[in-house]
Structures are given as structure tokens and as C-alpha cells.
Structure 1
């Protein structure tokens, strides 16, 4: 008995240690990206800053961020290979592991796994034989969706503050619920709809706070540049919502691979990263050759990768942010897996929520303690609209946790229909029938 207790305590300690690693690395992912966008370096592509044309420009390269992301995701395959070799040497006899199945609601948990920051659900087990070639080929579809939602989210982050970006990503629940009902045949109950309503209200509050804060700053010093910045912020919010729409489709498709084709979550992320690198090998020359545009929308179809490489070679801070981002994403992937392995998916969901608050607190730290201010600072000031953003965040947390039944609404009638269905299914099972 004492041995079992000691083993459980050790497992819990490991889980909370990995949880701390997940929280820190997950918070840093978004901030590092924002820091990259805030750094200036000498490149080959001219830009206009304060009315002057210069080659010393900001590193506003969302597609390069996709390349970093895919490289980090593909590293999951390296980790799986190394782990397999270590296990093979540790055990002379090779044992076939059970196929991994998504835990804690499948698609609902997977909503956190397919964000631009490379979150992955735990790999509960791995298949020694590996996926079939047909499965690997079919994974092209979610891989392309992941690439698209990542680049739209990256472009949105160019003009949206880190905290607003992190909170509006919660809108994926709305799209995920729709596609789960429409294509997966799932049924939503009263508490689901109540939670979705809370998320809609929260997204509206956070979006309004972000746009109002930008309008307030523009009104203080009105200029053509400020008007363009405000328009870009509206465009950025739109891109983030498009990214979450694509992410929700991806979640539904990935749930098929997780449950029907028995692909483990970490292996799925690794293969998506590998396909992403293949896509980028094709897209990089195309993005390079497309015509430059003067509007923010041109970030979708054009990016000069040679300029990005020159900028990186001319700036050690940029070099370190690239290395830090890839490492941080890799650590985040592993820690997210181990948290669910040693604890459970409920703790994972709570940590994901805490991560959003961590991002916001870190941006305030950058602004007020490090004193990195200015229009392109990754830090954020506290304004009168921050109170509305805080209230929206609180509503978002409640909506997200009640959707997953981590928190429960006071009214028991919201859960009555689900409980009736569960009792009916239990009564109709062959085992229970034989007990009567």
C-alpha cells in the first residue's frame, strides 16, 4: 500500500513539475513571436518608417514564423524515434503498445492541441508498427489546414496585442461545436449552449476592448499612420477568427485520425510538421516571387525569405529569438504530453487557461518593469479598457471550463438530458441487462 502511495506521489510531483514547464514555455511562445516582430535589422527589402524609406526594418515575417513552427513540430518525430531506440535498448523483448486514443473528450481537448503555438495532446501510447502510408498521405489535409490557420494567426498577431490574441483564440470552441455536431454526429446539451453563449459574450468584450484601446491611442495623436494601424488591427482580429475557423475544421479531421486510424497525438503533430516543411519548400519561392503590396493584406501572399535571412544574419537578437522559439515550442510539446500522462486532461485545460493570463502578465512586466514601450513594443500598458478585457477574460475562462464540465453551472436541469442518456445507455448495455 505504501509503495503504491509513494509511486502515486512521485507521479503527481512529476506531473506538476511538467505543468510548471508547460506554463512557462507556453507563455514564452507567444511573447517570443511578438518580440521577433518588434526587432529591427538591416535587410534587403525597403520599408517606410516614420515617413522615411529605409532598409533597417522590423522583422514582420509571419510566414517565417510558420517555418519555425513546422520545424518545431517535426522535431516531435525525432523525440519519438529517440524514445523508441532507448526503450528498445532498455527492454530486450519488443512489446507492441496499444494504439493511442485521445482522452477527455477528443476534439474538445484537441482544440488546444492545434494552435499556432504547437500545443499537443498527450501521447498515451505509440504504435510500434507506425501508421500506414495511406494514413500518412491523408494527413496532408489537416497539415494544410494547420499551415493556413498558423499563418493567419501569425498575421493577426502582427497588429493585435498578445493578450487580445491569446483570448480571442478561445473562439475556436464556437466553430468546433458547430463542426462536431454537423460532421461528427455529436450532440450538444443545455450546458454546452450556455457555455458557448458565455464564450460569444467574452469574445465580443475582448475584441471591443482591444479595438477601443487602439482607437483611444489613435485619438491622442491622430495621423494617417494611426488610421492605417487601426484598420490593420481590425484586419488582424478578422484573421484570428479565420484561423480559429480553420482550426476547428482541423480538429474534427484530426479526431478521425486519433480515434479511427489510431494515430497517436504526438506522432500526428510530428507528421503534420513534416508535411508543413514540404509545403513550405514549395511556398517559399512562390511567396518570394509574388508582387509586394502596400497594405497589410499583402502579408498573405508575399514574403521575402532572402530578406528574412539577411535580417537574421545581421542581428544576434533575432538569431536568439529564432532559436528560443523553436526550443520553447519543442519543450512545450513535450511538457503538454507529460502533464496529461502524469496528471490528466482536466489539469491540461486549466493550465492552458492560466497560460493566457501568464501571457498578459508578462506583457505588463515588459512594459512597466523592463520599460520596453512604444508602438512596436511586445509589452502592453494598462488602460481603462483593460478592465473590460479582464472581465472578458474571466467570462471566457468560465465559458471554457463549463463547456468541458471542469466547472458546473448551478442549475442541475442543464445536465439532466445528458444524465438521462447516460443512464439509458447504461441500462441497455448487455452487462447491466444480465444483472437484472
Structure 2
């Protein structure tokens, strides 16, 4: 994952080098900033993703993706506490609706354990771990928003810097993990926390694993760059809509290949979560603005000159003033 993010840094410098050789550079000069600012978001990314990957082994892929919608709750609360943002009533309503959606998805997850793929205790533990991880992900998002907007960091550079820190830290952690005993939890022949040499042997003997890793690296690189670009250039609302489409695709593929069974409550839970996300991100406002009783009358603001005065426009010349 971090190798995919780290590759964005190389792409940034290639893009910067090509831009400098143009007659009219399109990239604005970057403001100086300390790269260590992105170390805390990288640590949050590493911790939150590790917890979610452990939880993914205890629950289904669709529930894993849907429960990640809990990040809206914690992001909103942390934005109020640390960014000084004031949430409007529709955003508070979106948080409450999201909480209701999480309850429905969790209930569907527990009722769907009849196939005995996962034990009920594992499902509950996995769901709770996913929701707990969203607290860490919310901290990461708040930190990213603060640093990217404050220093006007290019999205490729931001993602690549986080990937660099995460890749270096995890690479160093692989050394002690190779010797730390973990019993059956490690899942390796030596029963250690992480057997790196055995992992490389598996990659060499099974080309399908190498293909999956290459796909994971490239998809994460494009996904993170696209997500931050959409947030910076368009809006978080658009990113929310696109992320919801990802949930539908994951669920559809899981059902198609037979990795999980269909449960009607998951549809209800997903729709509730989508409604909560839409309310929080203000997706309902353009729809309400189109209602007839929400539009002002044609002459409500008076003439063009009066509207300019209301908006603080320039004063029209009077009595020969120039």
C-alpha cells in the first residue's frame, strides 16, 4: 500500500521536471513546508489500515467497506474540535443517520453468519475493529486537510510523502517482526509475527500473488491521488459519491463470485449510510434549491445596479464624478 503511495512522489517529480521545460509552466511554485508534517498522517494511515486488514479477515468485504462509512461521524466531530468548524443541522442529522446505518449493517452482518464462514464472535470483533479504525482514519483526514490547504501542497507530493514515511517505517518494522513469536496468529511456518523471507518465496513461486500485489500497488497509487485531487479541485461531495460507487462494485463482485451471501438488510443499511453521507456533505442542497418555493421572485433584488450595490460593487459615477 505504501509502495503504491510512494510511487506518487516519483510521478510528482517527473511531472515537475516536464513542467519546468515548458515555455509557460502550469504548476504554481510550491510553498516551502516541512515534510515531517506528513509523518503523523502516515502513522495514522499505517495504524488504521493495519487494524482494518486484521478486521477484514473476520468479516465480509461488503460489510468492511460499508462500515468504513463511520469515518463521517468521527471526521465531523474532530473537525469541530480541532479545525474550529461549525456543523450545520443537516450535518448533525447526517451523523445520526450514519449511526443508524451502521447499526443496520452490523445487524445484517451478524444475521449473515449462518454460512459458518466466520464465527459470530469474529464478526462482532471485526466490525468493532473497523469502526475503531475509523477514529484513526478521521484523525488522518483532519491532519491532511489542515496541511494541504495551509501549505498548498500538490496532491501527488502529499500522497508520495506519506507513502515514503510509511514505506520506510514498515520496512524497518519487518526486521523485529521476523523474530517476534506470534503462535498461530502469525500464520507462517515459523509462527512469527511476519516471515518476510517466506513471503518473498511465495511471491516467487506463485506469479498470481505477484500480479495481485502489482495491481494493488497501482490501484492504491491512482486511488489516493484521485481522492485528494477531487477533494482539492472539486469538492468532498464528489469524492463521497465516487467512494459510494466503489462500495457497490465491491459488494456486487463479492456476490458474483460467491464470496458472500445476499442479505436484504445490507441494501437497507447501505442506503441509510449513503443518505447520511449525502446529508453530511450537503448533497441535498442543490436539490432543495431547485424547488419552486425556495427560489426568490424575479424582481426581489431590484435592478442590476441595486444588486451590485448589495454585493459591494463599484459605485456608479454621479454628478460628473470620474
Tell me which interval the TM-score lies in, with the shorter structure as reference length.
0.7 to 0.9
- Over aligned residues, Cα RMSD in angstroms? 3.0
Q: Which runs of 4+ in 1 moved over 4 A?
A: 93-96, 295-298, 334-345, 408-412
Deviation of residue 405 (structure 1)? 0.8
Q: 1:393 aligned to 2:273?
A: no
Aligned CA distance change for structure 1 residues 233 and 287 (closer, same or farther; 3 Å)? farther
Give the Cα separation in 1 of the matches to 2:172 and 2:128: 27
Give 1:260 deviation, angstroms: 2.1
In 2, distance between residues paired with 1:405 and 1:95?
32
The aligned runs of 1:237-248 (5 Å cut-off) are 237-248=127-138
Q: Quote the offset at 1:86 in angstroms.
A: 1.9
Q: 1:158 to 1:350 in 2, by over 3 A?
A: same
* 1:177 corresponding residue in structure 2: 76
1:345-391, CA deviations, whole angstroms, 9 ceiling, x for partnerless residues? 54332111111111111111112xxxxxxxxxxx2222xxx111110
Match of 2:37 in 1: 138
**Of 251, 255, 258, which aligns to 1:364?**
255
Residue 41 of structure 2 is aligned to residue 84 of structure 1: no
1:285 to 167, 175, 178: 175
Closer, same or farther: CA 297–241 of 1 in aligned 2, 3 Å: farther
Q: Aligned equivalents of 1:431 and 1:341: distance in 2?
A: 27
Secondary structure class of the residue paired with 2:183: coil
**Equivalent position SS for 1:160:** coil
Gaps of 5+ in 2: 290-309, 316-322
The alpha-carbon distance between structure 1 residues 390 and 280, as it changes in their structure 2 partners (threshold 3 A), is same
Q: CA deviation at 1:340?
A: 6.6
| 2:58 paired residue number | 159
Equivalent pairs counted in the alignment come to: 292
Which structure would you say has the larger Rg?
Answer: 2
Q: Which moved more, 1:289-298 or 1:141-150?
A: 289-298
2:31 touches 2:151 (CA, 8 Å); kept in 1? no
8 Å Cα contact 1:131-1:263 kept in structure 2:
no
Matches within 5 A, 1:326-341: 326-336=217-227
Match of 2:102 in 1: 203
Is 1:302 aligned to residue 173 of structure 2? no
Displacement of 1:182: 1.3
Matched position secondary structure for 2:283: coil
1:402 and 1:409 in contact (8 A); partners too: no
2:208 is aligned to 317
Q: 1:249 to 1:71 in 2, by over 3 A?
A: same
Normalising by structure 2, we get a TM-score of 0.81
Q: SS where residue 159 of structure 1 aligns?
A: coil
- Tell me, yes or no, if the aligned pair for 2:63 and 2:105 is still in contact at 8 Å: yes
Aligned-partner SS, 1:289: coil
Which residue is 1:380 aligned to?
A: 260
CA positional deviation for 1:201: 0.4
Q: 3-state DSSP class of the match of 1:185?
A: coil
Alignment equivalent of 1:406, drawn from 267, 270, 283: 283
TM-score where L is the length of structure 1: 0.61
* Residue of structure 1 equivalent to 2:301: none
Comparing 136-145 with 287-296, which one deviates more in the overlay? 287-296
- Counting only pairs closer than 5 Å after superposition, residues 18-57 of structure 1 correspond to structure 2 as none
- Structure 2 contact 177–194 (Cα < 8 Å) conserved: yes
1:240-270 per-residue CA deviation (whole Å, 9 max, x = no partner) reads: 1121110111112222211223323331111
| Aligned counterpart in structure 1 of residue 111 of structure 2, from 192, 212, 216 | 212
Paired with 2:5 and 2:35, the residues of 1 have a C-alpha distance of 15
Deviation string for 1:119-140 (max 9, x for gaps)? xxxxxxxxx34643xx212321
Structure 1 residues 308-330: Cα deviation after superposition (integer angstroms, max 9, x where no partner)? 22222221211111111112222
Change (3 A) 1:195 1:337: closer
* 1:180, distance to aligned residue in structure 2 (A): 1.0
Partner deviation per Cα, 1:247-301 (whole Å, 9 max, x = no partner): 1111122222112233233311110000011101221112222111345999xx9
Task: Give the alignment partner of residue 255 of structure 1, picking from 145, 157, 160.
Answer: 145
Identify which of 271, 287, 290 aligns with 2:161: 271
Which consecutive unaligned segments of at least 5 residues does structure 1 have? 1-68, 98-127, 219-225, 368-378, 413-429
